[in-house]
């Protein structure tokens, strides 16, 4: 088989055969197929798309390129959540211990942030001693003892996706529903969980800016999950304004702990509890999510999780030495607080990275002193910027130039969950 023939076939609109797909994924993973040839095929897929059966085969081949975690020794029901990413999205830190307190085991394999969206692993590493890289036997032991793990995926999990993801990032082939769906689902299916809830975010701070595209992606991923024996559903949630009150690594850990203590912002808790209830519904577990927060069970699980992964749950988290505020442009009600602008500003302060190998600051970020719907006076502080280096403030403030709009009337409060997709 020749890779050029596969490229030509997809370029001309043909549906690739199972043999062609499996040959390509195997040989690209092993380094036989060159990056420039893989890039050509990816661009053809962006242009031509994939039929459902073709995509299912592509995803299965990516899963088969590595190992699949064996969770058969876990007797309790298993479920996980995946978010398509946003600004201030610290849901995973609250959700994993919350569902574990409810009796659902969550093997949460997470990633790092890139650009204006934060990464769960970067946030957790702000906790002194917390280890995100675990050996397989340690992963299983913590999962059995605590009921949840939040760590990085090992190199053996869907290695084809690891290579293709890096290639897509530098070849302009990210924006493709089949490629996005197969990337997410190959890793989550290989994780071995019995159920999966997808948080597909839509809005200015999300990867997907429009509802129609978000719905297509959600439907595609739900179908892929079901086809591979994983009970899967999706919630489409809003990401027009930062989720919660903070964007930044240590800042989001602090807010997550406050949420587990029962003091979480309404928008953050609405999304988190909706996802938790969805995970319980898919696994058939009957538990009161809010009660597990109110009685301290979820917070107790958080402390167990942090301790098990080498961290100190009582340690004081690092704080930025430099701070600056951003004021309201006029008097009235905040009608818009653009999530992407806040995310870019937090990134420029040092909370994010432009490339995967870049370091991030544990303390940099932004605290939202006011949110959409709040009344403000002209010049009143809206955002508090945190940085290690004061030279970063100018570029961050520039990103916030048109982030805030103030009106004469308070905007209507819209539900955070737009719709549910799934069985």
Which residues are part of the catalytic machinery? 82, 161, 168, 183, 187
Residues 6+ apart with CB under 8 A from 188: 80, 82, 196, 225, 230
Q: Phi and psi of 337, rounded to 5°?
A: -135, 95
Number of H helices, E strands in the chain: 16, 13
The neighbour count for residue 16, using CB atoms within 10 Å, is: 23
The neighbour count for residue 379, using CB atoms within 10 Å, is: 12
Q: What's the token pair of residue 374?
A: 């709040």
Q: What's the token pair of residue 170?
A: 């530098």
Write the DSSP string, 37-52: HHHHHHHHHHHH---H
Please state whether beta strands 106-110 and 148-152 pair in parallel, antiparallel, or not at all (unpaired): parallel
C-alpha–C-alpha distance, residues 98 and 100, integer Å: 5
Nearest Cα to 305, choosing from 103, 146, 129?
A: 146
Please state whether beta strands 381-387 and 365-368 pair in parallel, antiparallel, or not at all (unpaired): antiparallel
Question: 129: left (phi > 0), else alpha (psi -120 to 50), else beta?
Answer: left
Write the DSSP string, 314-327: TSPPP--SEEEEEE
HEC string of 211-230?
Answer: HHHHHHHHHHHHHHHHHCCC
Nearest Cα to 74, choosing from 197, 193, 233?
A: 193
User: Is residue 308 within a helix (H) or strand (E), and if so which, with residue range?
Assistant: helix 297-308
Angle between helices 52-64 and 159-171 (to 10 degrees): 120
Which 3 state secondary structure label does DSSP give 87? Answer: coil
Q: Burial of 314 by CB count in 10 Å (0-12 exposed, 13-18 middle, 19+ buried)?
A: exposed
């Amino acid at each position: 088989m020749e890779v050029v023939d596969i490229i030509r076939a997809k370029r001309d609109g043909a549906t690739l055969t199972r043999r062609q797909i499996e040959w390509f994924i195997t040989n690209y993973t092993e380094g036989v197929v060159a990056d420039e040839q893989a890039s050509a095929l990816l661009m053809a897929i962006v242009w031509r798309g994939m039929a459902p059966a073709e995509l299912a085969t592509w995803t299965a081949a990516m899963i088969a390129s590595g190992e699949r975690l064996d969770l058969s020794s876990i007797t309790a029901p298993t479920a996980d959540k995946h978010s398509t990413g946003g600004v201030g999205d610290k849901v995973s830190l609250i959700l994993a211990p919350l569902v574990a307190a409810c009796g659902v085991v969550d093997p949460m394999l997470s990633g790092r942030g890139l650009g204006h969206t934060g990464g769960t692993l970067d946030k957790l590493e702000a906790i002194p001693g917390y280890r995100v890289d675990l050996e397989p036997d340690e992963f299983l032991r913590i999962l059995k003892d605590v009921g949840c793990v939040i760590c990085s995926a090992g190199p053996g999990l869907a290695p084809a996706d690891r290579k293709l993801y890096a290639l897509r990032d530098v070849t302009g082939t990210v924006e493709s529903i089949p490629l996005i769906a197969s990337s997410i689902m190959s890793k989550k299916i290989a994780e071995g969980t019995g159920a999966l809830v997808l948080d597909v975010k839509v809005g200015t701070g999300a990867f997907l800016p429009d509802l129609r595209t978000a719905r297509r992606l959600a439907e595609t991923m739900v179908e892929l999950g079901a086809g591979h024996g994983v009970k899967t559903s999706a919630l489409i949630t809003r990401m027009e304004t930062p989720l919660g009150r903070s964007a930044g690594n240590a800042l989001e850990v602090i807010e997550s702990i406050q949420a587990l203590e029962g003091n979480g912002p309404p928008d953050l808790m609405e999304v988190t509890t909706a996802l938790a209830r969805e995970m319980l519904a898919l696994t058939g577990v009957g538990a009161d999510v809010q009660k597990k927060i109110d009685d301290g069970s979820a917070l107790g699980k958080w402390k167990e999780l942090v301790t098990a992964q080498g961290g100190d749950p009582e340690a004081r988290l690092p704080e930025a030495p430099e701070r600056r505020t951003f004021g309201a442009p006029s008097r009235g009600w905040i009608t818009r607080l653009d999530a992407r602008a806040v995310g870019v500003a937090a990134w420029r302060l040092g909370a994010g990275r432009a490339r995967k190998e870049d370091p991030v600051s544990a303390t940099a970020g932004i605290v939202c002193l006011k949110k959409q719907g709040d009344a403000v006076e002209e010049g009143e502080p809206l955002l508090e910027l945190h940085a290690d280096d004061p030279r970063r403030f100018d570029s961050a403030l520039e990103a916030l130039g048109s982030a805030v709009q103030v009106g004469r009337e308070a905007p209507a409060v819209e539900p955070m969950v737009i719709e549910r997709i799934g069985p």
